[in-house]
Homo-oligomer: A and B are copies of this chain.
Amino acid sequence: MENTTAVAALAALAQESRLAVFRLLVRNAPEGLTPGLIGEELDLPAPTLSFHLRTLAQAGLVTAVQEGRYVRYRAELPGIDALIAFLTEDCCAGNSKLCSPKG
């Protein structure tokens, strides 16, 4: 993973509303949710939510699929796995006895 890619993903998550949206989609994986349901659950205005969903999608943390007049957003679990691996890469110079992270 590129440093730049990781920064984009972390920046996408580093915002209260977006983090809440992402975690809601993680809990509701793998089916996903529509913006209407997300906005209702988290009490977010549609334009604000749309902006945040786009940011998460550009960072590769969620995917969007058009379903008729709805759009289904899903957490991209491999994306978050890759980010987690990147954060703890080569931890303790590879000496796993010294490290708590699983990576």
Using a CB–CB cutoff of 8 Å, the interface residues on chain A facing chain B are 3-4, 6-7, 10-11, 13-16, 19-20, 22-23, 26-30, 77-78, 80-81, 84, 86-93, 98-102
Q: Across the interface, which residues of B come within 8 angstroms of A101, CB to CB?
A: 77, 80-81, 84
Q: Is the interface of A mostly helix, strand, loop or mixed?
A: helix
In angstroms, Cα B102 to Cα A15, docked, is 24
List 19 contacting pairs A-B, 8 Å CB cutoff, sorted by A: A3-B16, A6-B19, A7-B15, A10-B19, A22-B87, A23-B89, A26-B87, A26-B89, A26-B90, A26-B91, A26-B92, A27-B93, A28-B93, A29-B91, A30-B98, A80-B87, A80-B88, A84-B101, A102-B102
